[in-house]
Structure 1
């Protein structure tokens, strides 16, 4: 059964000490170019970042800092491998480590004829994974409704967690994960009382942050009945973009040069310069270990410089 086959790769999977565990390992159609005119570069970039970025409420933009292992369900071996190869190539360009062949998938892409049905079945089977009700993890009810009941050709659910960048330990309390501390009363009954982790801040700052947000699992569901006649290369790039970053499924991107317009008649044959610039800015060292409030601005600043440099080079 599809749901049962996928569930083993969706468990939260934190170590007992609270740290993140090491991962185990057609037909083409022509689409018109879309360009942005009449706006200053910095204004357009800030608008773009503000539209597509979808961090967990109150948290910063999460990045992959463990090995990414893409896995594809319900496609032929060759078609699956082509998607995996493309995602691996994009990840390598961002210096994201990738898993060896046979690794346990943490970027799971499911092809199905019933996107809402599969999403609802997954959530019903593992509500604690998709709706953990943990501060810094929960993406909120609106995103959950879209994932389960939306009509998009591609839907996704990314799981992230705040961690201490110095130790790798989780920075929030996760139900069922024990810190190892007990009260005397608990010891007499043999039960445990869970405490929030204690973080020793090395160099407090309003701009620099010791607590960072990391992606550790992403589930993408592709509804083949809704995809239409999209080139497989375009689709692979779309999946790479939404799989390697926290992207808002509701983002209105008409007028921007992005692969996110793929299903709105405005997509390009692959990741555009804007898309690649966004990913490069997101994974730039400066945009990491920075406070959540400042992170989106830092990403926009890096992307603006990149866009201006590209324009001067033309």
Structure 2
């Protein structure tokens, strides 16, 4: 199974006409809201803030292994539902697997084996990400490969606001440690995985409490952990940002989308 995973990774209301001027209190609240949203976006994106944010282009094709067929089907359907809300097509006819989600009680060993026996040249940044993937203690870990010209090729540009690259994800591997996911329900795990595979967040540990990504580090409550309003607003912002924009411009676009959606992070 380790060999097959290594091969897969390698291939892989109407407004009023007169508006009252906002009070100082309104300005403070709005400022804090925007700052919180900026922190939310920063926490989910790469530590190198100049780097562009890659996302899926047009279609996805998830495959779930390590659980029974009914559970796999539910997870796949949930991912497809969220993906379609973002304008992506799920499971086009004849599509090869682009998202491999593996449930295994030996996730730590699989991750270590992949890092040790990598069969593709990923560059220094890619190797660093593979090491992080192998060494993390998170119950869910992920790594993606992207094509820098995935959105219609690369073009020359002299603008400080745009880049020649237009990166798109072309493969993602997710390992779920069956011994570490605890007593979370299938719908909770399904929503968590939807955020991971569609948002491609940086693999970290200090997730905002207003994201489902904090699920494994937060105290269990009466309500189930599901995609939050901020999660959905973030995804919407990511998939409407310019593919050729610089990293900072993309992040600002996401924050603007989240602000306009009326969501708030704390």
Which one of 123, 126, 147 corresponds to residue 161 of structure 1?
147
Q: Structure 1's 101 and 262: CA in aligned 2 closer, same or farther, altered over 3 A?
A: farther
Count residues with an aligned counterpart.
Answer: 246
Q: Deviations over 1:112-155 (max 9, x none)?
A: 11111111223334341xx5117xxx3452x3333112211001
Task: State the TM-score, normalizing by the size of structure 1.
Answer: 0.70
State the distance in 2 between where 1:251 and 1:277 align.
21
SS at match of 2:179: helix
Provide Cα deviations, 1:137-178, integer angstroms capped at 9, x if missing partner. Answer: x3452x33331122110010011231174xx34x5xxxxxxx
Report the 3-state secondary structure (helix = DSSP H, G, I; strand = E; otherwise coil) of the residue aligned with 2:166: strand
Residue ranges of structure 2 left out of the alignment (5+ in a row): 13-28
Are residues 1:65 and 2:64 paired?
A: no
**Structure 1 counterpart of 2:18:** none
Map of 1:3 onto structure 2: 2
- Looking at secondary structure, tell me which structure has more helix per residue: 2
**C-alpha displacement at 1:262, in angstroms?**
1.0
Cα deviation for residue 248 of structure 1 reads: 2.0
Partner of 1:90: 82
Which one of the candidate residues 131, 137, 146 is aligned to 2:132?
A: 146
Distance 1:90 1:292 in 2: 24
Counterpart of 1:271 in structure 2 is 227
Structure 1 residue 58: Cα displacement: 4.7
Q: Deviations over 1:71-97 (max 9, x none)?
A: 111111111111111111110010012
Contact persistence 2:59–2:92 (CA under 8 A):
no
Per-residue Cα deviation, 1:262-309 (whole angstroms, up to 9, x for no partner): 11125753101010000000001x44331223211111121111125x
Matches within 5 A, 1:107-118: 107-118=99-110
SS at match of 2:168: strand
- 1:305 and 2:260 correspond: yes
What 5-or-longer segments of structure 1 have no aligned partner? 14-36, 172-198
1:29 aligned partner: none
SS in 1 for 2:227: coil
